[in-house]
């Protein structure tokens, strides 16, 4: 594993709590106005009655921010049909001036998904559906065949468009070996987190992504890697994660009242990690 030389980016990862929606909007506005923060990632759990709908929130937030990249982390594929998700992402990318990236997950919490009308899938089925969904989304963005016949998702004469303002990256929130290899084969990025992938597991996960990339004839460095950190991780550990495992985006998990933690991350942690990584790269 190695540092792939990507520019480092920092941001926040938030739950869209309905009861604290106004606090969340204030936090996002503050983050947007703060130098050193580039990304807003929002959890997507459509079955959670205490949460605002993530796509509605991102659309609302797009109109009140100017700099933050906006992304669901990660969009719940079984409850968000990929053809509609593709149109939604392209539309918001156009309206926001090219600030949308798309995190996608194959699904979890199947009882809750099924309760909302979604289809329960085995791990293998979920992975097949995720592969097909990426083809559907790319096709509707004008990057693939407009006619696809899949087991879970198909396009039969659908027209591409609208074209997004920039090439939207698809980031997969996955951890299994086959899914990680598929990330290397097809995706633009990987989005994981400390809770499921503590730093001592990152080498194996990143190796699987790189293997998938090489087997597909891709350069591993093409796949960016984002990491939802543990708030207690010190600068030295974040620096090591960047240099040893190729992680280039760091997301701080904060609740809607987490302005203090967000500002410390922006003005203290992010600059220190940037400086340490830059120094190591020229050493």
The 10s digit of each residue's pLDDT in 2-31 is 899 999 999 999 999 999 999 999 999 999
Rounded Cα distance between 149 and 174, Å, is: 24
> Taking 70 as the threshold, does the pLDDT of residue 256 lie above it?
yes
Mean pLDDT of the chain: 97
Residue range 113-168, pLDDT digits in tens: 999 999 999 999 999 999 999 999 999 999 977 789 999 999 998 999 999 999 99
Residue 193: how many CB atoms within 10 A of its CB? 18
Q: What pLDDT sits at residue 147?
A: 85
Note whether 39 and 251 are within 8 A (CB).
yes
pLDDT band for 209, please (50, 70, 90 cuts): very high
Note whether 187 and 216 are within 8 A (CB).
no
Please give the distance of CA 176 from its chain centroid, rounded to a whole number: 17
pLDDT band for 82, please (50, 70, 90 cuts): very high
What's the pTM value of the predicted model, to 2 decimals?
0.97
DSSP 6: P
Q: What pLDDT sits at residue 236?
A: 98
């Amino acid at each position: 594993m190695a540092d792939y030389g990507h520019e480092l980016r920092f941001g926040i990862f938030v739950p869209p709590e309905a009861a604290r929606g106004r606090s969340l909007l204030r936090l996002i506005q503050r983050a947007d106005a703060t130098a050193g923060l580039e990304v807003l990632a929002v959890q997507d759990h459509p079955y959670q009655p205490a949460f605002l709908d993530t796509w509605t929130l991102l659309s609302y937030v797009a109109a009140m921010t100017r700099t933050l990249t906006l992304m669901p982390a990660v969009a719940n594929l079984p409850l968000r049909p990929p053809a509609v998700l593709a149109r939604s992402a392209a539309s918001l990318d156009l309206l926001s001036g090219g600030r949308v990236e798309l995190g996608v997950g194959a699904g979890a919490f199947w009882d809750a998904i099924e309760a909302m009308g979604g289809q329960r899938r085995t791990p293998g089925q979920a992975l097949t559906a995720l592969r097909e969904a990426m083809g559907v989304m790319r096709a509707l963005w004008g990057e693939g065949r407009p006619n696809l016949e899949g087991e879970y998702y198909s396009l039969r004469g659908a027209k591409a468009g609208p074209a997004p303002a920039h090439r939207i990256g698809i980031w997969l929130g996955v951890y299994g070996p086959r899914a990680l290899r598929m990330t290397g084969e097809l995706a633009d990025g990987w989005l994981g987190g400390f809770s499921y992938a503590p730093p001592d597991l990152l080498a194996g996960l990143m190796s699987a992504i790189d293997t998938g990339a090489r087997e597909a004839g891709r350069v591993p460095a093409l796949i960016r890697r984002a990491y939802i950190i543990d708030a207690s991780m010190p600068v030295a550990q974040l620096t090591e994660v960047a240099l040893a495992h190729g992680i280039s985006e760091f997301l701080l998990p904060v609740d809607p009242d987490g302005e203090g933690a967000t500002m410390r991350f922006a003005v203290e942690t992010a600059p220190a990690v940037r400086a340490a990584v830059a120094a190591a790269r020229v050493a």
